[in-house]
Structure 1
Amino acid sequence: MSLKCVVIDDEQYAIDAMVGYINKITDLDVFTTYVSALDALTNIKKEDNIDFIFLDIEMPEISGLELAKSLRDKTKFLVFTTGHPSYALNAFDLNASQYLLKPISFAKFATTIDYILKDLTIVNSSVQVTKSRLQFIKADNKSAYHYIDSTEIIYIEAAKNYVLIYTGKEKFVTHMGLNHIETALDPKYFIRVNKSNIIAKNAIKKVEGHTIILNNTKTLQLGDVYKPAFQDFLNGSLLKAGF
């Protein structure tokens, strides 16, 4: 397995360091590098079949976050490489695979690649992947983590710069984008009902018009944008008389 890698950074020494790391890992190959974000935007094509893009954030011409909006569908994995932790929430809203803080050691780089490729191996071997499991999330404390099994989740709520996850017994807080969490959940069991909320389908107690009542008595309003998908779910779950 040989995976194509692209490195985009406005500092050549950072590119050189990343290229050195990539060359140390057997499964990775450097496809090309860009010191100019504009050149990357112009030249990277979907048909290049790129596996990894390693992308800096603070660059002249175009920021890495803006560039990612155009490049995300042109690579399997998008890894931000930056010296600024404050962009993490925005990065995961863009469906980033990982977020590496500079200075990046080879050990950290190798561990990150190993983590990503293990997920790829699971998918390619046709093993059933339980996307509905969130596994570990970061807590407020920098060194603390929570394990959450999605079978216990009732609903999830976005609140400013963090997300609240409600189970039957507890509430968890994590600094992560709602979009990022949504991609980790299995749509067979979860559904987005408005801009700020994702709910477990089996937690619905009653639906009255645009009002959704959950089995913990929480009441949410169905957003117009999400109504068609929600109605399709209801129609597909409706008990019908046989004739």
Structure 2
Amino acid sequence: MLNCIIVDDEQFSIEAIRKYIDMLPKLNIVGIYTNPQTALEEVSLDSKIDILFMDIDMPLISGLELAKALRSKTQKLIFTTAHSKYAFDAFEAEGDAYLLKPFTFGKFSTTINRLFPTEVLKTTEVNLETNQEDNFFLVKNKEENLRIVKVMYKDVIAFESAQNYVKIYLVNNKILTAYLSIKDIVEILGSREGFKQFHRAFIISIDNINYIEGNTIKMLNNLAFTVGESYRESFNVFLSNKLLRTLRKR
């Protein structure tokens, strides 16, 4: 059982998190605080906290300030906020994940599973937003006289806008050209996990990132691009959630 504490000054946000926690039988709420000062005074090492859900915008003491005092008292720290601008600060505060409100149950559960991969977190009577059996799509390939091609989502490296078309880069080095727009691709992908847009012309599979250098992302097929200015905040949230960091004292 994973013990959880919620610190948030908004009751509707607490109820949303409580609802999601109730859907995962391995999670157990041991404390809820609407006043950050009370949380500061009452949360101790004896609380045996596995997950601390922390809002950021709160009166008198911000979640970032409170996190500095409570970080050593919890195994994992998850920031929950409606503002993406705090992503880098959350990273500096040694947050393990950053959930932007309003977040879905799918996002919540995948975050918990990522942080606790050895735990069996089964959902009860819940339909996830992405159908797990819907693992492919069909597309007309311009380079094959509009032959309809079956494409597995797991085989996609990236989608790239090319004037009136979209290029689809696959892991077998094949490139499909479809009469689609990036906006169409966004609609097709919906809330599917594993794909991110960090540039107006590219949507990428994060599983197929080779490396990140500064603001440049290079994919496994050597496709590379610089993160767009308007996508910097979401990119920082992605780094905050995925980048490993040491727990050693600096």
What amino acid maps onto 2:203 in structure 1? A
Shift of residue 141 of structure 1?
Answer: 5.1
User: 2:97, 2:241 within 8 Å by CA — same for their partners in 1?
Assistant: no
Return the alpha-carbon distance in structure 2 between the equivalents of residues 181 and 81 of structure 1: 12
Question: SS in structure 2 opposite 1:60?
Answer: coil
Return the alpha-carbon distance in structure 1 between the equivalents of residues 69 and 3 of structure 2: 18
Correspondence for 1:84: 83
Correspondence for 1:101: 100
Return the alpha-carbon distance in structure 2 between the equivalents of residues 10 and 80 of structure 1: 13
User: 2:96, 2:240 within 8 Å by CA — same for their partners in 1?
Assistant: no
Can you list the C-alpha shifts for 1:149-174, whole angstroms capped at 9, x where unaligned?
56xx8xx65xxxxx56799x868657
Return the alpha-carbon distance in structure 1 between the equivalents of residues 216 and 15 of structure 2: 40
What amino acid maps onto 2:78 in structure 1? V
What amino acid maps onto 2:88 in structure 1? L
What amino acid maps onto 1:26 in structure 2? P
1:185/1:98 CA distance change after superposition, 3 Å: closer
Correspondence for 2:7: 8
Percent identity reads 36
The answer as to 2:26 corresponding to 1:27 is: yes
User: 1:78, 1:97 within 8 Å by CA — same for their partners in 2?
Assistant: yes
Return the alpha-carbon distance in structure 1 between the equivalents of residues 28 and 110 of structure 2: 17
Correspondence for 1:67: 66
What amino acid maps onto 1:109 in structure 2? F
Question: SS in structure 2 opposite 1:144?
Answer: strand
The structure whose RCO (Cα within 8 Å, separation 6+) is larger is 2
Using structure 2 for the length normalisation, give the TM-score.
Answer: 0.53
User: 2:52, 2:77 within 8 Å by CA — same for their partners in 1?
Assistant: yes
Shift of residue 105 of structure 1?
Answer: 2.4
The answer as to 2:29 corresponding to 1:40 is: no
1:32/1:143 CA distance change after superposition, 3 Å: farther
Question: SS in structure 2 opposite 1:184?
Answer: coil
User: 1:52, 1:78 within 8 Å by CA — same for their partners in 2?
Assistant: yes
Correspondence for 2:173: none
Return the alpha-carbon distance in structure 2 between the equivalents of residues 142 and 99 of structure 1: 25
Unaligned regions of 5+ residues in structure 2, if any? Answer: 120-193
Shift of residue 48 of structure 1?
Answer: 1.5
User: 2:88, 2:240 within 8 Å by CA — same for their partners in 1?
Assistant: no
Correspondence for 1:18: 17
User: 1:5, 1:54 within 8 Å by CA — same for their partners in 2?
Assistant: yes
Shift of residue 143 of structure 1?
Answer: 7.0
User: 1:136, 1:148 within 8 Å by CA — same for their partners in 2?
Assistant: no
1:1-243 to structure 2, matched below 5 A, reads 2-118=1-117, 120=118, 139-140=198-199, 144-145=203-204, 147-149=208-210, 175-176=235-236, 184=244
Shift of residue 139 of structure 1?
Answer: 3.7
Can you list the C-alpha shifts for 1:30-85, whole angstroms capped at 9, x where unaligned?
01100001111111112222000111111101111111111111111111111111
What amino acid maps onto 1:184 in structure 2? L
User: 2:4, 2:51 within 8 Å by CA — same for their partners in 1?
Assistant: yes
1:16/1:137 CA distance change after superposition, 3 Å: closer
1:52/1:181 CA distance change after superposition, 3 Å: closer
Return the alpha-carbon distance in structure 1 between the equivalents of residues 196 and 97 of structure 2: 14
Return the alpha-carbon distance in structure 2 between the equivalents of residues 29 and 105 of structure 1: 19
RMSD across aligned positions (CA):
3.6
Can you list the C-alpha shifts for 1:76-125, whole angstroms capped at 9, x where unaligned?
1111111111111111222211111111222322222122221x55xxxx
Correspondence for 2:153: none
Return the alpha-carbon distance in structure 1 between the equivalents of residues 241 and 108 of structure 2: 23
